[in-house]
Amino acid sequence: MEIKINGQLADITVDSEKTVGEILAGLDQWIANSGHRLSGLAINGETVSTGTLEAAFARNIDTVKILDIVTCSLPELSVQSLSQISSDIDQYEGLNFFEKQGFIEIWNASPQALFIAEQIPDLFTICGRFFSGDFSLDFLRTIIAERMRELEDPAGELGILESLVSDVCVRLEDLPLDIQTGKDSRAAETIQIFSSIAEKVFRIYNVLKTEGFDMGTIRIGEAGLSDYIIEFNSVVKDLLAAYQQRDTVLVGDLAEYELSPRLRAFCTALSQAVGDKTWALQA
């Protein structure tokens, strides 16, 4: 029996496996570790449909000459799921009031919703709230479009962040003065903007990592990138705790001397990973 993965003959030896399902079970962890998921299957040139999947898994390998396995990367599957959610929004808008009441229950069981719930849980929560009528569907469309850009063009989205990061770093440095002078709304807005930008940077990092960019060799100062991220997250937690306790001295030190330069350096490292060296390392 020949086993092909994405059209390429795979060097796989069948040992004790008796069925197609057992072979796929053995390959499942390897496929997952490579950042992919099973997306299609063909036996002897015939595509296996969803309705015949159970029978295909139970099929004895003695009856199989060629097993074609198709996989997709997580970013590819994410884009497909987000595209389907865009269609779901259009469908939802065309429903009457009573039909909308039952939409969310059906949608939660859909393949795209299950995938998003597993891989992008924050977006799954957002979608659920929007489909429940909490927010504007146009705003949901904006979020979906942004997430798709991050998946399809992470380097481009990283470039867009350059001016936003510079602006929020200035605001971080002004944060203690805002708190001291009673500008609570501006201080809260700064924290919110910083959180949104930091989350976006981490999303782009995860996309780049999944797509095979070599992050293991990147160093920021004395730290490797993975250690740097751990330290970054620790400082963020310290800042939020200090902000809630209105410790303006600690907030100022963390914002100006820790978070601002760390955010710039992190974005610089990601830009270098994709060959874009336009970021300045100094604040």
Residue 278 domain-assigned (yes or no): no
Chain segment 109-161, per-residue pLDDT in tens: 999 999 999 999 999 999 988 888 887 889 999 999 999 999 999 989 998 89
Please give the residue range of the domain that contains residue 84: 77-151
Which pLDDT score, from 0 to 100, does residue 86 have?
Answer: 95
Q: Are residues 82 and 111 located together in one domain of the fold?
A: yes
Closest CA to 35 of 168, 151, 188, 197: 151
Q: How confident is the model at residue 283 (pLDDT cuts 50, 70, 90)?
A: very low
Nearest CA-CA partner of 171 in 263, 281, 242: 263
**In-domain check, residue 188:** yes
Same domain, yes or no: 203 and 147: no
pLDDT score of 269: 83
Per-residue tokens: 67: 């097993």
Q: Domain check: are 160 and 257 in the same one?
A: yes
Domain count, the chain: 3
pLDDT at 216 over 90: no
Please determine, for residue 52, whether its predicted confidence score (pLDDT) is greater than 70. yes
- Regarding whether 103 and 41 lie in a shared domain, the answer is no
What's the confidence (pLDDT) of residue 277?
44
Residues 54 and 144 in one domain: no
Cβ atoms within 10 Å, residue 24: 17
The CA-atom distances, in angstroms, between 191 and each of 32, 33, 179, 259 are 36, 35, 12, 11
Angle, in degrees to the nearest 10, between helices 121-131 and 111-119? 130
- Distance, in Å, from the CA atom of 143 to the CA atom of 166, rounded to the nearest integer, reads 23
The verdict on residue 282 lying in a domain is no
Query: Which of 125, 151, 177 is a domain's end point?
Result: 151
Q: Are residues 159 and 249 in the same domain?
A: yes
Q: Which residues make Cβ contacts (< 8 Å) with residue 164, sequence separation at least 6?
A: 197
Amino acid letter, 104: I
d(CA 134, CA 127): 10
Q: Are residues 142 and 194 in the same domain?
A: no
33 within domain boundaries: yes
Considering the domain architecture, whether residues 13 and 119 belong to the same structural domain is answered as no
24 within a domain of the structure (yes/no): yes
69 lies in the same domain as 122: no
32 and 59 part of one domain: yes
- Domain annotation covers residue 280: no
283, part of any domain: no
Residue 225 domain-assigned (yes or no): yes
Q: For residue range 5-18, what is the model confidence (pLDDT) as tens digits?
A: 999 999 888 888 99
Instruction: Please provide residue 81's backbone torsions phi and psi, each rounded to the nearest 5 degrees.
Output: -65, -40
Q: In whole angstroms, what is the distance from residue 264 CA to residue 68 CA?
A: 45
Q: Do 181 and 265 share a domain, yes or no?
A: yes
Query: Residue 17's domain is classified under what CATH number?
Result: 3.10.20
Whole-model pTM?
0.81
The residue among 73, 107, 125 that closes a domain is 73
Tokens of 120: 């992008």
DSSP 63: G
By the 8 A CB rule, do 67 and 21 touch? Answer: no
Q: Are residues 160 and 268 in the same domain?
A: yes
Of 97, 126, 151, which residue sits at a domain end? 151
Of 59-68, 191-200, 203-212, 269-278, least confident by mean pLDDT is 269-278
257-275 per-position pLDDT tens digit: 999 999 998 988 888 777 7
